[in-house]
């Protein structure tokens, strides 16, 4: 486990309305709101974190909700679908829930031998509920309306849409330790055996397809997990040795980050487990307080006055 990529850490997307985003993911999908903070580069914009009870790596979906942002467009050079693991036989519950909450969805289908249900969040972000054929032992977060027998377990996979997959596939296999395990037409499935869950990356290869536009309802970046700083620095050196540019380590308060744009155009991050989301709140308090990066604490009154009330 020490020096491996341990599947997905988190995925960050863009939303257009903070209250609507908060309500959808906590109330409709039933995720736990684990951290309310602000964008490091734009402190007048929230940064939301949703996940399981503890904010475990592989369950964390984060958002920059920029009020009134233009809707984006899915296309190449971006992550285009986020897959959540759910129990078998939960689809009837989710279809009824989506209909009751006016959520756009498609009827269930199947890929790689796994049933899945596609739906859109209020900004048009494309998500899927997937019943993994290997099962999922992760403990779900329950709410009054979304009980454990139907609740999401965390990420199953993320899909990258690319014009040409070769250079990206090389990153996954030669640097991150993933293997190509299956293919259906132009969809290629890569997985790591370093972890049991949040271990899958799908690549859809569409030569000539139009490039996507990153804005509301699109994925901003995909973060891969490492155990600690030492493992992260080994990957930084390996990436540099392969001729790719990568940032220095950046402290994001709850994890330490490296960023690089892989050759297919998707922004990748490598994020550590340490120090975790309970560095400034207890397990019970997670998500209840506005937590600010230290450099913005002196602006707290102004920031709180500007941010939309949830």
118-131 mean pLDDT: 98
Residue 135 pLDDT level (bands cut at 50, 70, 90) = confident
pLDDT of residue 24: 98
pLDDT of residue 1: 47
Tell me the per-residue pLDDT of 199-213, one tens digit each, with 9 for 90 and over.
Answer: 999 999 999 999 999
Nearest Cα residue to 278 out of 288, 270, 269, 268: 288
Give the chain's length.
310
| Percentage of the chain modeled with pLDDT above 90 | 96
Tell me the per-residue pLDDT of 262-285, one tens digit each, with 9 for 90 and over.
Answer: 999 999 999 999 999 999 999 999
Tell me the per-residue pLDDT of 232-246, one tens digit each, with 9 for 90 and over.
Answer: 999 999 999 999 999
What DSSP string runs through 162-195? ES--HHHHHIIIIIS--EEEEEETTEEEEE-SSS
CATH code matching the domain that covers 8-306, chosen among 3.40.50.300, 3.10.180.10, 3.30.365.10, 3.30.428.10: 3.10.180.10
Beta pairing, strands 267-275 & 219-226: parallel
Question: Average model confidence (pLDDT) for the chain?
Answer: 96
pLDDT of residue 219: 98
pLDDT at 150 over 70: yes
272 contact partners, CB below 8 Å, separation of at least 6: 225, 226, 227, 228, 229, 231, 232, 255, 256, 257
Distance CA 246, CA 239 (A): 7
pLDDT at 98 over 60: yes
Q: Which residue has the tokens 């190509």?
A: 180
40 contact partners, CB below 8 Å, separation of at least 6: 47, 252, 293
pLDDT of residue 117: 98
Tell me the per-residue pLDDT of 168-217, one tens digit each, with 9 for 90 and over.
Answer: 999 999 999 999 999 999 999 999 999 999 999 999 999 999 999 999 99
């Amino acid at each position: 486990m020490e020096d491996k990529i341990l599947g997905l850490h988190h995925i960050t997307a863009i939303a257009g309305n903070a209250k609507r985003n908060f309500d959808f993911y906590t109330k409709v999908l039933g995720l736990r709101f684990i951290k309310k903070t602000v964008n490091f580069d734009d402190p007048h914009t929230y940064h939301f974190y949703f996940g399981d009870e503890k904010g475990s790596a592989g369950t964390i979906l984060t958002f920059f909700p920029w009020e009134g942002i233009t809707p984006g467009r899915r296309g190449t050079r971006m992550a285009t679908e986020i897959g959540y693991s759910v129990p078998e036989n939960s689809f009837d519950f989710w279809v009824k829930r989506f209909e009751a909450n006016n959520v756009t969805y498609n009827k269930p289908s199947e890929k790689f031998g796994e049933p899945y249900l596609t739906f859109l969040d209020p900004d048009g972000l494309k998500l899927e509920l997937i019943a993994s054929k290997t099962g999922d032992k992760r403990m779900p977060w329950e709410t009054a309306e979304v009980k454990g027998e139907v609740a999401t377990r965390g990420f199953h996979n993320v899909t990258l849409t690319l014009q040409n997959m070769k250079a990206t596939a090389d990153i996954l296999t030669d640097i991150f330790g993933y293997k190509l395990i299956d293919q259906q037409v132009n969809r290629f499935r890569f997985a790591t055996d370093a972890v049991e869950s949040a271990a899958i990356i799908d690549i859809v290869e569409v030569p000539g397809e139009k490039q996507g536009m990153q804005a509301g309802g699109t994925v901003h970046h995909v973060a891969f997990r490492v155990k600690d700083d030492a493992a992260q620095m080994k990957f930084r050196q390996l990436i540099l040795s392969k001729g790719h540019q990568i940032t220095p380590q950046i402290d994001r308060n709850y994890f330490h980050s490296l960023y690089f744009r892989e050759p297919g155009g998707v922004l990748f991050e490598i994020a550590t487990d340490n120090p975790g989301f309970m560095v400034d709140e207890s397990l019970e308090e997670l998500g209840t307080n506005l937590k600010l990066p230290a450099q913005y604490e002196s602006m707290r009154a102004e920031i709180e006055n500007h941010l939309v009330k949830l």
